[in-house]
Amino acid sequence: MFNRLILPLLLIHFLAATAIGCSCGRESKTNQPVSPQTDTASYVSKQPESTITPIVDDTTICVELPKVLPGQKVIQKSGFSLVYSEAHEQALWVAYELTASETNSSYARTDNFMSDPEVKTGSAMPTDYKGTGFDRGHLAPAGDMGWSSQSMAESFYMSNMSPQAQGFNRGIWKKLEELVRTWAVDYGAVCVVTAGVLTNDLPTIGSTGVSVPAYYYKVVLDNTGPDYKAIGFILPNASSKASLQSYAVPVDEVERVTGMDFFPALEDGLEESLESTFSVREWTWTSSSSNRDFGTESSSSASVQCLGTTQKGLRCKNRTKDPSGYCHHHR
């Protein structure tokens, strides 16, 4: 499915030679693996820094993909792409386009969590989460993948999961996912990149050593025109009653925290302009179907179970109101 991306006039000569899509390989809704990453890494490593562009073949530029580094393998599903981090046993990032029509779900959740056969080093396993107190939290939401049976099934691969506190996964994270679907309807389509903030020395769960992120990020690009805009979110892995607007940041701030380069396929000047600033007034925060105000609704904060682990490897049972999600023993 080609995205209707119309770049400024300064990109016309570039577009004449290259087809630009905001969703790699989805025109035919197939689930063919991406071209071997050795080819992509070779391409990236030979390009000048200013022209490095995420690709999956010789003709398609994927606007939603972050900068792909040499040695990273892009795994392409029918509805999203990802780079898997073996060190953390989850995706470094998951990227996809969501169109207005794809928000109309035709297929129910499968809830069939399974290891990802395309992760050649072996992905996390469903049993890694058993008894930990953490949810198997979707990165590309099942609610965004109900437009086909294949995309829905693939959203339950463990490569698309990350350990999320129950109150976070079922609360503010779900609320943000619903907001993104509202934006897809309002703007026709959006590009999304999301995952946990993966840093050194994170606590782990399960026999494979799945890292538990302290924070999660999501960046959203509206490139349907006439006005481009982008916004980022950084949220602690804990229950929160704060407004979504309070977690909104420029995309540049998410890049600083994660060390990644988002939307490098955009022309440099446009990318810099979109990512350096943002305005909440540019975005809709109320669902036209439910009249729900996603941006400002909030209530008093509540205590949550600490994200820390004990010396026995069990989830800490202390409660905390600290925004980090950790009690005083684990901060």
pLDDT at 294: 73
For 110-131, give the DSSP string: ----B--TT-TT----GGGGTT
DSSP 69: P
Domain identity same for 156 and 295: yes
Using pLDDT thresholds of 50, 70 and 90, give the confidence band for residue 330. confident
Domain identity same for 208 and 222: yes
Higher pLDDT, 293 or 93: 93
Alpha-carbon distance of 121 to 124, in angstroms, equals 10
Domain identity same for 77 and 214: yes
Query: Annotated catalytic residue: which of 138, 328, 329, 330?
Result: 138
pLDDT at 18: 36
Give per-residue pLDDT as tens, 44-102: 222 233 223 344 444 456 899 999 999 999 999 999 999 999 999 999 999 999 999 99
Does residue 209 sit in helix, strand or coil?
A: coil
Q: Please list, in sequence order, all residues whose beta carbon lies within 8 angstroms of the beta carbon of residue 220, skipping any fewer than 6 positions away.
A: 180, 183, 190, 191, 192, 230, 231, 232
Q: Is 330 a catalytic residue?
A: no
Using pLDDT thresholds of 50, 70 and 90, give the confidence band for residue 227. confident
Domain identity same for 264 and 307: no
Domain identity same for 102 and 211: yes
Establish if 3 belongs to a structural domain: no
Domain identity same for 165 and 187: yes
Task: Name the nearest CA neighbour of 97 among 190, 223, 222, 195.
Answer: 190
- What is the value of pTM for the model shown? 0.75
Give per-residue pLDDT as tens, 245-280: 999 999 999 999 999 999 999 999 999 999 999 999
Find out whether 95 and 25 touch, Cβ atoms under 8 Å. no
